[in-house]
Chains A and B, each alone.
Chain A
Amino acid sequence: EIVLTQSPGTLSLSPGERATLSCRASQSVRSSYLAWYQQKPGQAPRLLIYGASSRATGIPDRFSGSGSGTDFTLTISRLEPEDFAVYYCQQYGTSLTFGGGTKVEIK
């Protein structure tokens, strides 16, 4: 099973700042089959990025994904108030696993 480790566990930032979230895999993710989700309290996850770098429909361009192999990054260029949430990475190249999540909180 591919284990995904997300860091940091919590990111404390102010609106307007840049957020950089990391997702590291225990082995190479096939074909960059990696996705990122945003989840707010009481809501289902929302797809942001798939294929490591493709934005899902309707996702603002302040969200971007990069990486390959075992190291992936989600970047939020300028945090908006609605971006404070928990973010999960998911690999779907070999079976399917999720990372443990990164909480982006208001500083």
Chain B
Amino acid sequence: QVQLVQSGAEVKKPGASVTVSCTASGYTFTSYYMHWVRQAPGQGLEWMGIINPNGGTTSYPQKFQGRLTMTRDTSTNTVYMELSSLRSEDTAVYYCARVNDYFAITGAFDVWGQGTMVTVSS
């Protein structure tokens, strides 16, 4: 079945970097754009950016530019999200999510990873 499996929880100190992975299975990895969304404890959903698994091109909202890097490895069907210069406000559950239409840059997200808790604390 179609699924996205993310790496496990992380605890990081302020100023450090974190990398979260998301491995896809059950579909053609390079045919669907992947997005990242985060959710701070008790809060709503925040869009972080997008990666094209086919060519590796990315787009991030201005809020995250300079701190966020998304990459992919087509040999393992995995996308990565690296966030640097972490601060306490980055404490959140991070999700990868697939767009529901092949080759569509954006859209509704029909498949989600299980989420990865990232805690930033000194």
Contact = CB atoms under 8 A, between A and B. Distances in A.
User: Do A and B interact?
Assistant: yes
Interface of A: 33, 35, 37, 44-47, 50-51, 56-57, 88, 90, 92, 95-101
18 contacts: A35-B108, A37-B109, A44-B113, A44-B115, A45-B95, A45-B109, A45-B112, A47-B109, A50-B107, A50-B110, A51-B108, A56-B100, A90-B108, A92-B106, A95-B47, A98-B44, A99-B44, A100-B44
Given A50-B107, A57-B110, A90-B108, A98 B100 contact: no
Interface of B: 35, 37, 44-47, 61, 95, 97, 100, 106-110, 112-115
Contacts of A46: 112
Nearest to A86: B44
A2 B114 CA distance: 27
User: Which among B61, B97, B108, B112 has the greatest number of chain A C-beta atoms within 10 A?
Assistant: B108
B35 A45 contact: no
B110 A96 contact: no
A95 B35 CA distance: 12
Contacts of B112: 44-46
Closest 6 CB pairs of A and B: A50-B108, A35-B108, A44-B112, A98-B45, A96-B47, A92-B106
Contacts of A33: 106-107
Given A35-B109, A98-B46, 8 more contacts: A33-B106, A44-B115, A45-B112, A46-B112, A47-B100, A88-B44, A98-B45, A99-B44
A46 B109 CA distance: 8
Contacts of A95: 47, 61
Nearest to B115: A44
Nearest to A92: B106
Contacts of A47: 100, 108-110
A52 B110 CA distance: 14
